[in-house]
Structure formats: C-alpha cells, structure tokens
Chain A
C-alpha cells in the first residue's frame, strides 16, 4: 500500500513546481561567476581606449553593489523567510565595517598625519596616550575576522533573545530594531566611544600588505566580494531548503501553531537573526576597504530602510530576488543622485509604494508568472490540437 502512495506522491512532485518557484542556485552562481570573470578580463586585458574596458572606478562600484547584494541576502533571510521585518540591519552591517575599519586603521602605522606608530590619528588628536582596551588585538587579522562575525552576531543574539523570548513581533519589533540602530548611531558619534566620532575611521593605506590605492587590490576586493556573495548564497540556499527553512516559513505563517507542534519559535528566530546579522557584518567588512571610510552615518535608520526596499523590489521570499533588487536599486541611486540628489528619497519612497501595490512579490515574482502564462498558452494549444 505504501509504495502506491509514495508513487502518487512522486507523481505529484511535478505539480510542486507550479506553485513554488525553484531557487536557481546554479544559474545565480554561474551568472555571478561569469560576471566576475568578464569584469576581471575587461579590467586587466583590454586597454583603456577599448569599448570592453572596465574602469577601476566601475570595478569598485560593482564591488560595492555586491556588498549590498550580500546585505540584501541577509535581510531577505529574516524578512522574506521568517517574517521578521528588521529595520536595523544597517547596525550589523556597520559593526562589521567598524571591525574591518579598526584593523585597517592599525595597518596605517606611522604613516598617519601625526606619525604615531601606536595610536590612530584621531586618538592622538584627542590627546589619548594609549589604546583603549577594546582596540587591543585589532592589528591582528584573526581578531578582525572574529570581530566581523562576533560583533554583529553577539548584538543580534542579545537583542533577539530579549525580543523573541518576550514574544515581541510585528511593528513593535521593527520599531525596536530601528531604535537599536539609532541608539548605536548616537553612541558612535561621540568621540569618547573611541571609534573616531563623527569622522569615523578613514585614511586607510593598505590591507594585508596590499595598497588600497592600487587597481589590482581593488580588483582583488571585488573578486573576494563575489566569492563571499557566492558562498553566502549557497549557505542561504542550504538553510532555506532544509527542514530549518520550512520551520522558519511555518513560523512566518503561524507562529503559535509551530509552538503547539512542539518547536520553540524563539530559538529558531534567534538563530536565523544571528546568522543574518553575521552575513550583514561580512558585507560591511567587505564594503569598508572598497569605499575607504566607515562612519556612524552608516547606522542611520534610513540606510536600514533602504535595505528593506531592495528586498521588496527584488522580491522577498526569493534569494536571487534580493540580489537583483539590491543591484538595481543601488544602480538607480548612483545614476539618480548624480542627476538630482535631492529627489532620490522621493524616488525611493515612490518605488516602494509602486512595488507594494503593483508587484507584491517583487521582480522575482514576475518570472514565475510569465512562465505560467507560457505554460498556459502551451496547454491550450495542445488542448486545441
């Protein structure tokens, strides 16, 4: 009896694809790989006069977009799949950025304006005589890598444990995340915090011994970001396709039912929130050497809202959608702010309203519905003949 039932189940497997878009892991990774190769060739091989030349500026810009894409992936994981609308992911991104920034500051050594071999410039400026305790170890790569993940992860763990255990959810949670990033911004603006105050950390010279000004380092950072994005995509794909992903989706749909089935939703939420925060931290760490500065402005709630819009435009509940959304909106921002900077926020707001009204599933939601249309016409043609 069981075999016949299982056959039925297998037959029905085909119907599954009708209602759920499969996540195109190979396609996404493949496209990312090809883009990276093309950009590398365009940058290294073709001369500046050639039409195929990719300028160093473009390489850096693309590297920045890929950081945003990684960040969007992190936001999508908690919002699209678990229904946690975090308006504070900028905090995790910025913390990761600061961890990298501290390491880069220490690499400046005595090449700073004040030429102090031990202290970063801003500390000399504040008349500090020694490194604060939390800067200890910051000249080690291992310390930096740990902090990139531990800083955001720990904050997410503490925040998540408190919020999810007391069953805070929905709008209240969103407002709390917003308050969290705002509080951090105010704190980091203060000089006494020891993170460079409102100037932040900048004037970096080199990373792992490579000059940050050199085009080849920029290309290297771009490639590193692409690899990080690919790995993060695979990790997210694995999480989403595992039973964990289904539990998390179930939590989004009906948290109390999940509880009565025997799962502890708060554990799952904290876990996925921490993973997401770490991905955001990684994105921040890759972002800082490419833009050359990190300052408390990155904590601004506006940035966090922009991330949510990337995901909304690209399509939440779809990993590749988040990447598409981040890249498209960031590109639009680059173009738009060059033409009329003061109108960008209105455009962003308008975009959000339009997407919510017209494309609730985002750009990624368009593809399956187009496919469906083709399938339907094909069916009707078959039926006629």
Chain B
C-alpha cells in the first residue's frame, strides 16, 4: 500500500483504494483487546462485504462501540488483524488517515462542530485534500457548493443551513452528522445508534436513507432499537462478550437458540 503518512498534501482517493476483488471490504480477524483484564474483544472475526448493510446488535458491553473504535483507529487492539480491502492494514494508520482512506463514522452521541454553521460543518467534511496549505487558500467550487446543497436537501436542513450547529435539536444533529458522513463519500459508513433520540417519523426517514446508501457504500449500523433493526437489516451479526455469537438474517437470528438465550431471550422475557 502507498498511504502517504505525512498527511499533507494528501488526496485520499489517489493514494488509497481498497482492493475488494474478493467482495469483502472490511476484514476483522482474531482481534483481541482487554482493558485491565476485562476482555472487551475476544477473538472477534467479522467480514463486511462491499456494498452490504449490516446491523450489529448485542447487549451493553458486548463490544460494539469498542469494535468501531478499533476499526477507526481510536484504539489499537492487543492482537489481530484489521484490513480495509485486501491490502490496507488499518492498524498502521491513525484516525485521520483511516477517515481519508474512506471509512466514516457517526458517533453514538451526536458530535458536530457546535460553533460552526450547518453549512460549514458539511463543507469541512467534504471529500478532498485535508492539508494545511489547501485549507488556507481554499475556495469552494461551484460543484462543491452544489454537492453541499444536495446533502442539505437529503438531510432536510436547508432552512437551517446557516444556523450554528449547536442550536439544532438532538435529532437534527444526528442528521447533520449523517450529512457530514455523506459529504466525505466514504466506502464504509460505521453508524453508531443513529436513531437514538429521534421521533418515529425521523426514525423512518433514517431507515430509508441508510437502506438507500447501501450498495454504493457499505453500511454498518449498531443499534439497540430492535424494531429499527428489523426494518432495515438484511444481515445481522450478534455480538456477545466480545465475539460474534451468530450471523444471519433477522429470522435466522431470532430462531438461533444461542441468541435467544443470551440476548433476545432477555428482551422477550
């Protein structure tokens, strides 16, 4: 791989293109991670196919968010392999390099730049050179402005586009963060609890948006809301105590005796 680690100037799409000839875009193999003896991730294996929509479910502490942290470079695992496509070793890159390589992340708690306007939040997230000199002399091109307009339209924040992001409601912030993800045009979107704090209608729109994104992007959704998972999921992975317990369609998962015992059983019982 030829990732330019200097970071500036660096255009992600020129330097790093994941090799997905085997149909898999994200390889997570034998990953172990422990915090002070607590095994957060335990021989975890997960393969995400190019263009699929995958839901991750699991009880609190099952390792869902930790897994996202590992993939996005926030935490280094003790052992194991995390690859983007066949050839890019994500464990060699830091957060910003992973983001530029094409893995976008939405946090559990919506994190937007509160003092900047909605428009500027999207602008900063646009795909492109993230180096210092480019930033200093950067002018928005008409194309980019149109792209921002499109995204604002998609996330329904056109009227609020010059509000400071800090003034948005919780649900709107969630949407803005999704918009920021879209602007970066990532190959893989990791979405942590996208519908937390959303109204029923907003949840429906989010489900629509996420399903429409799959295909062109690979989407991994972590969610507690089982109704929401049912409405979007084609394939579900169940995490339990730091490893994958079961994988399959929602009905397969619901029929799986292990899953019923440790997770769904608790919910239904």
Give residues in A with beta carbon < 8 Å to B: 1-2, 5-6, 8-9, 12-13, 15-16, 19-20, 239, 242-244, 246-247, 249-250, 252-254, 256-265, 267-268, 271
Contact = CB atoms under 8 A, between A and B. Distances in A.
A5 B149 contact: yes
B120 A246 contact: yes
Given A243-B136, A257-B111, A250 B161 contact: no
Given A1-B153, A267-B132, 9 more contacts: A9-B119, A9-B162, A12-B159, A243-B124, A243-B138, A244-B135, A256-B74, A261-B180, A267-B131
A2 B115 contact: no
Main secondary structure of the interface of A (DSSP, over half): helix
| Closest 3 pairs (CB-CB, A-B) | A5-B149, A262-B99, A243-B138
Main secondary structure of the interface of B (DSSP, over half): mixed
A257 B113 contact: yes
B161 A9 contact: yes
A260 B131 CA distance: 14
B100 A262 contact: yes
Interface residues of B, number: 48
B117 interface: yes
B26 interface: no
Contacts of B137: 242
Contacts of A257: 107, 111-113
Interface in B108-139: 111-117, 119-120, 123-125, 130-132, 134-138
B100 A5 contact: no
A19 B164 contact: yes
B8, B136, B163 interface centre (most CB from chain A within 10 Å): B136
A250 B111 contact: no
10 contacts: A1-B153, A8-B158, A244-B136, A247-B135, A253-B113, A253-B115, A258-B113, A260-B95, A260-B104, A261-B96
B111 A243 contact: no
A332 B107 CA distance: 48
B145 interface: yes
B7 interface: yes
Contacts of A258: 113, 124
Interface in B70-113: 72, 74, 94-96, 99-100, 104-105, 107, 111-113
Given A250-B116, A254-B111, A254-B113, A261 B159 contact: no
